[in-house]
Structure 1
Amino acid sequence: MSGVVIRKARPQDERVLADLDRRTWSGESSAGPRPGVGPHFFDRFHLPEHFLVAELGGRVVGYLRLVQPVLVASAAHVRQIQGLGVDHDVRRTGVGLALVEAACAEARRQGARRVTLRVLSVNTGARRLYAKAGFHIEGILREEFYIDGRYVDDVLMARSV
């Protein structure tokens, strides 16, 4: 999307990211509980440097969390997308794809060779986005979660960077 700026998150983004996280949360996109009310988004496991932020016209419209999922030297070549949120009014405009592509570039800059992610099987929009960005299914954990009265598969996807 033209005009989208992707940057690293800053501590002062916390309130706007917390609000965006609440607005974009759904049972189709997260196996976790609905985010609570309040300004808290960052904590000791979710640091600003783990996040990329998408801005459009100076307004934060998306975020993505990128981390090394297993903190051992033998896995230093892998990064994982652990969260992606895009404001409803700019979905399907390229913001999500811009964030994913920026995350892959950042992973490569950090020396990674692979980027992995987990996505709920019912989140068809996210699965299409990841496939468009070159991610392929590497595994499926059948009935991994029980959400809203139904069992949901966890789809494991990855791509080289």
Structure 2
Amino acid sequence: MVNWVAHSKIQERHYDGTAALDLDDTVGGTTINLGIVTESTINPDTNSLYSGLTAVATATGWTGPVALANLSCALDGSNDLVFDADDPTQIAQDASGFSNGRSVVLYRSDDSHILASYTHPQAFGNVNGPINISFDANGILKVTI
């Protein structure tokens, strides 16, 4: 199971009404994107914008952040809030791709605020083989209520 780190600023913006986000029915052209960056640490309290991070290079196999599909946000059997989405499409192997990915980031497309991030223990990339990103069957994020 991958432990995604929820980011503080988007939670604050949601709850104080600054930028509420309906995670299962994004409106106004907002999507939740998945990006890959080179940072090996992303502080959830101080790094609030994807645009402030260093995205990995794009090439034929990886063309940049992708929008998540089939977002869902609902209560589970324990009345905890669970956010989920379909697994992204496989990132194809590409000899001119990237090898310096360290973190995967979920963020709002309209204002770049980070929802959550996951930092891999070591650098990864698609130069030597394809990449499959699979979300946990129990959801990407769980908020215990």
What range describes the TM-score normalised by the shorter chain of this pair? Answer: under 0.3
User: Relative contact order, CA 8 A, sep 6+: which one is greater?
Assistant: 2
Question: Greater strand share, 1 or 2?
Answer: 1
- What TM-score results when the alignment is normalised by the length of structure 2? 0.26
Question: Greater helix share, 1 or 2?
Answer: 1
